[in-house]
Amino acid sequence: MTEAPGLNRRHLLGLEQLSRQEIDLILDTADSFREVIDRPIRKVPALRGRNIVNLFFESSTRTRISFELAEKQLSADSVNFTSSGSSVSKGETLLDTARNVESMKVDCVVVRHPASGASHFLADHLTQTTVINAGDGAHEHPTQGLLDIHTIRDRLGNVDGKRVVIVGDITHSRVARSDIWGLRTMGASVAVCGPPTMLPVDIESMGVDVFHNLEEAIKDADVINMLRIQLERQKGGLFPSLREYSRLFGLNAEKLKHAKPDAIVMHPGPINRGVELDASVADGDRSVILDQVTNGVAVRMAVLFLLLGGSDRDGD
C-alpha cells in the first residue's frame, strides 16, 4: 500500500460534504488498516517523512490517543499540542498559533476546538497544510461519524436500509450531526430521541424522525447510539435533574427489552455511567463501544493516508 488512491480533497472538515463513494473509500481503506493493527508489528511506512501536529484546544482521550497512534503506525512524525500550557494562555489566537505551526513545515494539523467552524476557518487561512477536524464545538466530528459507520457496517454487514436511533443531547452534539449526515448519505434511516429541550427545533430538516419516548424510539432500531449530555456546551436548565433524565432517557437492561433482540448499542465515549447508560448495558453483549474505539484507530489511519499519502497533493 504505497500509492494512495486519494480523496481528491485537501481537508476533512465534516461528513456533510462527503459523497457515498468517498465514505466507501475511507471505510474500505480502514478495513485494510484494521488488519495492520491486528498484526504483532503495527507499522507501515506510508507517511514516512510527513509532519503532523495534533492541535487540541479541548479535552480528549479517545480521539487524541487514536490520532496519535494512527500517525505513529503510519510512520509520520507527530507532535501533540494542548492549549493549556501553551501560548494560548498568553493571549495568542487560534490563527496565529496555526500559522506558526504551519511555518514549521507541517503537512497536517488535526484540530479540536470549542468553536463551531474553527477547522473551516483554519482551512480557509492555511495555505500549505491539510486540516482534519477532530471536533469543532457542537458542529461536526467527522472521524467519529466515520468510525460509527464503520462499526455498523462491520457488525451488521451493511449500513444501507438500517435503522439508527441517536439518543440524548442532539442540540449540542457534534457526533449526532456527523452521524446523521454520514449515515443518511450511506442509506440508513435515522431517528433522534431526547427531551424537546435537547433537540434543535428544525431537526426534521436533516431528514430524521423525532421521538421523545425512548421505548418507542428503539422499537424498530438496528442500532442505538447513546450520547453524553454536553453540560460544558449547555447554558443549563434543559431538564429538571440527572435522575429525571436518566429515568426517561437512560438505557438499562429493562428498557433494552423493547428493542430488537439483535440491536447493537453504541456510545462515542466518555460514558457517564448511570446517566445515559447503565453499566449492565455498557458492558453487556449488545455493546460495541470498545469496537468503536478500535475501529477509530483504523479509520483515522485511513483518513490520514488518503489525505496525505499521495506523492503530490494538488486536491482542492
Interface contacts to ligand NCD, rule CB under 6 A:
62-63, 135, 141, 144, 174-175, 228, 268-269
At 195 the three-state DSSP class reads coil
Q: Residue 174 Cβ, how far from ligand NCD at the closest point, in Å?
A: 5
In which element (H, E) is residue 190 found? strand 189-193
Q: Residue 314 Cβ, how far from ligand NCD at the closest point, in Å?
A: 31
Q: Residue 55 Cβ, how far from ligand NCD at the closest point, in Å?
A: 15
Q: Residue 269 Cβ, how far from ligand NCD at the closest point, in Å?
A: 5
Q: Amino acid identity of 234?
A: Q
Q: Amino acid identity of 237?
A: G
Residue placing its CB nearer to ligand NCD in the complex, 194 or 309 = 194
Residue placing its CB nearer to ligand NCD in the complex, 50 or 228 = 228
Q: Residue 135 Cβ, how far from ligand NCD at the closest point, in Å?
A: 5
Q: Residue 229 Cβ, how far from ligand NCD at the closest point, in Å?
A: 8
Residue whose entry in the numeric block shows the C-alpha cell 499519502: 309
Residue placing its CB nearer to ligand NCD in the complex, 163 or 174 = 174
Residue placing its CB nearer to ligand NCD in the complex, 150 or 174 = 174
Q: Residue 273 Cβ, how far from ligand NCD at the closest point, in Å?
A: 13
Residue placing its CB nearer to ligand NCD in the complex, 16 or 220 = 16
For the chain, the 3-state helix, strand and coil shares in percent, each to the nearest 5, are 40, 15, 45
With 0-12 CB in 10 A as exposed, 13-18 as middle and 19+ as buried, what is 192? buried
91: left (phi over 0), alpha (psi -120 to 50) or beta: left
> What is the Cα–Cα distance from 218 to 165, expressed in whole angstroms?
7
Residue placing its CB nearer to ligand NCD in the complex, 54 or 144 = 144
- Name the residue with the smallest CB distance to ligand NCD: 228
Residue placing its CB nearer to ligand NCD in the complex, 162 or 267 = 267
First to last CA, the chain: 23
Residue placing its CB nearer to ligand NCD in the complex, 11 or 172 = 172
**Residues 285, 229 contacting (CB under 8 angstroms):** no
Q: Is the peptide bond before 270 cis (omega within 30 degrees of 0)?
A: yes
Q: Residue 119 Cβ, how far from ligand NCD at the closest point, in Å?
A: 13
> What is the Cα–Cα distance from 9 to 29, expressed in whole angstroms?
16
With a CB cutoff of 8 Å and minimum separation 6, the contacts of 131 are 10, 11, 12, 13, 108, 109, 111, 119, 122, 123
